[in-house]
Structure 1
């Protein structure tokens, strides 16, 4: 028992020694704890406002920048497996990605759940795009075997339709039929170049189609940046965004 007590004492002293040796010269000498209830009745602290106000004004000026204009409201409401917002989202990502990877056959850059906010009729601001796409997701191009593309098509059909570009299909009894990629019938024996996000590629929303690609290429292009660039380009051209339902995805 005496030996055990000595060992515990020695262990404590050694631990204290190493703790002191590794710690900085600063020590807590006093600590207070308090609770503050937050409510609408809480008085405004003008000193805090004065501190953050210059930063808020600068951020507001940036977020209120008008990137372009839309000819119609773009909503995520699904009609027959597609939505005006989903069509815009997929088309914009595909156009911008093809500038560096023109071989891309089709895209599914997001799931319906990833479309976080509608875009308004008229002016589209930087804030609108951040509200639509608040995540830092990157675009990646994958070369997939036809069998892996088939599992992706099965997922799209099983979930009632997803945002796609460069691809048309019909959904019958939750199965993909009459699939066309780039205007040509889908060939399960071929490899296809597919654009998607790092979230989906990593298995997001239960998608496993990108686990064993033939090859992959990170474009170093965030989806949000692709959307911003696409909207800005329409403004430079003097045209408005007009994304409507076009039958790329039907659900019988």
Structure 2
């Protein structure tokens, strides 16, 4: 074999050896590592995050107000003290923002009972308390609804039979859960009037089956979280005094 033929043979061998191989996954192996107190803390990592942890805990433990009693979302049939507190806080803190932008006022607030994620314990109310009650990032929106949509809203509440937090609305049901009275700002619902209803983005998008929000005149996004409204409210009140009242009741 001469050198020419040898070079050709070597070239063929090299080209063949450089072809891309096709691989396929046949098995994945792993093991569960349980995070417990037995795992050693990396001192370097712990030292790095220590100042951030201490600063966060300082902020979260800042005392904002005081609760004379413990309040839970199960302390009432159709309205609860903690739910009323949340709805009233949203009304009080978000209306100035809405009024400044539009010249109008919020007529009522509707939130959802399931959005209350913790009790409000007797004692100091801290920033951490606000995060525990409302851990979600839900933001406040204001929806412009005509009278017929408000009727749909009240019908929803009468059928749900749950203490969804409301403010600005007074709703009375009979023993069969039929509506006997529905007032907004202490006045009967006017089918031709536009009402401005504050809620959160989750409910506006149909959460908890609240589909009546989608038929509306306008939507106003306040870029203001419900949790922040509550924290701002706590900062202004030395001692909270939420109560169960007659905003949503059933006559026997």
TM class, shorter-chain normalised? Answer: 0.7 to 0.9
Whether the aligned pair in 1 keeps the contact of 2:172 and 2:181 (CA below 8 Å) is yes
Could you say which residue in structure 2 is the equivalent of 1:23? none
The aligned runs of 1:87-106 (5 Å cut-off) are 87-102=84-99, 103-106=105-108
Could you say which residue in structure 1 is the equivalent of 2:160? 159
Could you say which residue in structure 2 is the equivalent of 1:66? 63
Among candidates 162, 165, 182, match of residue 185 of structure 2: 182
1:113 CA displacement: 0.4
Which has the larger displacement, 205-214 or 66-75?
Answer: 66-75
SS across alignment from 1:199: helix
Q: Distance in 2 between matches of 1:204 and 1:188?
A: 25
1:174 CA displacement: 3.1
Compute the TM-score of the two structures, normalised by the length of structure 1. 0.79
Whether the aligned pair in 2 keeps the contact of 1:159 and 1:174 (CA below 8 Å) is no
Structure possessing the higher radius of gyration over alpha carbons: 2
User: Can you list the C-alpha shifts for 1:39-85, whole angstroms capped at 9, x where unaligned?
Assistant: 64624324243343332222111110111112332221142300010
Whether the aligned pair in 2 keeps the contact of 1:80 and 1:249 (CA below 8 Å) is no
Q: Distance in 1 between matches of 2:185 and 2:231?
A: 25
Could you say which residue in structure 2 is the equivalent of 1:111? 112
User: Can you list the C-alpha shifts for 1:174-233, whole angstroms capped at 9, x where unaligned?
Assistant: 333311111112233422111111111011111111112111211121111111111101
The answer as to 2:39 corresponding to 1:35 is no
Unaligned runs of 5+ in 2: 1-18, 21-27, 100-104
Could you say which residue in structure 2 is the equivalent of 1:122? 123
SS across alignment from 1:205: helix
Q: Distance in 2 between matches of 1:131 and 1:138?
A: 16
SS across alignment from 2:213: coil
User: Can you list the C-alpha shifts for 1:11-48, whole angstroms capped at 9, x where unaligned?
Assistant: xx9xx8xxxxxxxxxxxxxxx97535326462432424
Whether the aligned pair in 2 keeps the contact of 1:76 and 1:118 (CA below 8 Å) is yes
Compute the TM-score of the two structures, normalised by the length of structure 2. 0.79
Whether the aligned pair in 1 keeps the contact of 2:140 and 2:201 (CA below 8 Å) is yes
Which has the larger displacement, 126-135 or 174-183?
Answer: 174-183
Whether the aligned pair in 2 keeps the contact of 1:169 and 1:248 (CA below 8 Å) is yes
Aligned residue pair count: 218
SS across alignment from 1:62: helix
SS across alignment from 1:81: coil
SS across alignment from 1:98: helix
Could you say which residue in structure 1 is the equivalent of 2:240? 241
Inter-CA distance 78–189: structure 2 relative to 1 (3 Å threshold): farther
